[in-house]
């Protein structure tokens, strides 16, 4: 008798989402990743406290990033914005790649993947549950970083308007909405990393290879985006619109690049996830 025809068998009852949430919460990499989301704003606060105000050896060479750093100590909103700005280019990429790239490959490397499928858990459901849980932890990490930065910054520097060097200050109530908009946009752009890491996690049994591969390809895309000789071809790179969130700091808000970046990220993520499901539902699982 097949598993699907066994009495009382329901595919929807196999591998409950909350069971996967608890499994991932007990893992050391989850605890360390989330813990660092809390630790980073504290490190930043200490750095600002022991630093010398007005000390800037780079002059105006820091550009927009330097401008955000200059405003970081002017209020909780600006401190949280700076925490996001320093993390978006690499740290958040690594964290998202870790959650998505490790989820399937680690099961294969431990030899437990075939036992999960023998419960039996339908392959599409197994991938779907792991995708949802990895996404939930990635979003939680992003919110944890933002919330911690906002709390610490407000306690130390007070509550004030969201500063901007490209427009007038944004009132605190509206500034909070714009900060949440930046968080939402970063979450969408990081879907590309999530999709790529998840695909690599399905293709390899080495979790480190999946995580590192996704990060390296993201860095490669960022490097190629700096080559102006590529012209309009750069618009096709998944990292081309990663800094479009700065449009939320202008008045009025610049939404054109935000829309393009969101659409690009969703298309890339959908493609990668589709390939992951297609490959996994057809591969021989021996580990």
Q: Which domain holds residue 127?
A: 15-46+62-280
Q: From residue 191, how far is each of 18, 92, 172, 180 by CA, in Å?
A: 22, 11, 29, 17
Task: Give the pTM.
Answer: 0.88
In a domain, residue 5? The reply is no
In a domain, residue 9? The reply is no
> Which residues on adjacent β-strands are paired with residue 162?
170
Q: From residue 205, how far is each of 137, 208, 282 by CA, in Å?
A: 22, 9, 16
pLDDT digits (tens, 9 = 90+) for 17-27: 898 899 889 88
In a domain, residue 124? The reply is yes
pLDDT digits (tens, 9 = 90+) for 67-108: 677 788 888 999 999 999 999 889 999 999 999 998 888 777
Q: How many domains does the chain have?
A: 1
In a domain, residue 6? The reply is no
pLDDT for the residue 198? 94
């Amino acid at each position: 008798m097949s598993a699907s025809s066994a009495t009382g068998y329901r595919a929807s009852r196999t591998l409950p989402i909350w069971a996967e949430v608890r499994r991932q919460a007990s893992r050391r990499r989850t605890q360390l990743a989330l813990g660092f989301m809390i630790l980073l704003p504290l490190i930043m606060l200490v750095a600002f406290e022991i630093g010398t105000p007005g000390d800037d050896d780079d002059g105006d060479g820091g550009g927009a990033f330097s401008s955000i750093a200059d405003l970081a100590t002017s209020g909780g909103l600006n401190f949280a914005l700076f925490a996001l700005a320093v993390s978006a280019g690499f740290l958040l990429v690594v964290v998202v790649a870790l959650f998505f790239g490790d989820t399937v490959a680690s099961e294969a490397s431990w030899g437990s993947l075939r036992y999960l499928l023998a419960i039996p858990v339908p392959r599409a459901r197994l991938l779907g549950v792991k995708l949802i849980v990895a996404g939930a932890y990635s979003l939680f990490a992003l919110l944890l970083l933002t919330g911690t930065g906002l709390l610490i910054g407000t306690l130390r520097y007070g509550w004030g308007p969201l500063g901007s060097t490209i427009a007038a200050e944004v009132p605190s109530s509206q500034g909070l909405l714009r900060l949440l908009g930046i968080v939402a946009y970063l979450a969408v752009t990081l879907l590309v990393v999530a999709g790529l890491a998840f695909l690599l996690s399905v293709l390899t049994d080495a979790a480190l290879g999946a995580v590192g591969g996704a990060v390296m390809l993201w860095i490669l895309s960022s490097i190629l985006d700096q080559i102006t000789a590529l012209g309009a071809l750069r618009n096709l790179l998944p990292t081309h619109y990663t800094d479009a969130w700065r449009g939320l700091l202008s008045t009025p808000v610049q939404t054109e690049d935000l829309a393009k970046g969101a659409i690009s990220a969703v298309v890339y993520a959908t493609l990668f996830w589709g390939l992951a499901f297609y490959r996994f539902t057809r591969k021989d699982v021996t580990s």
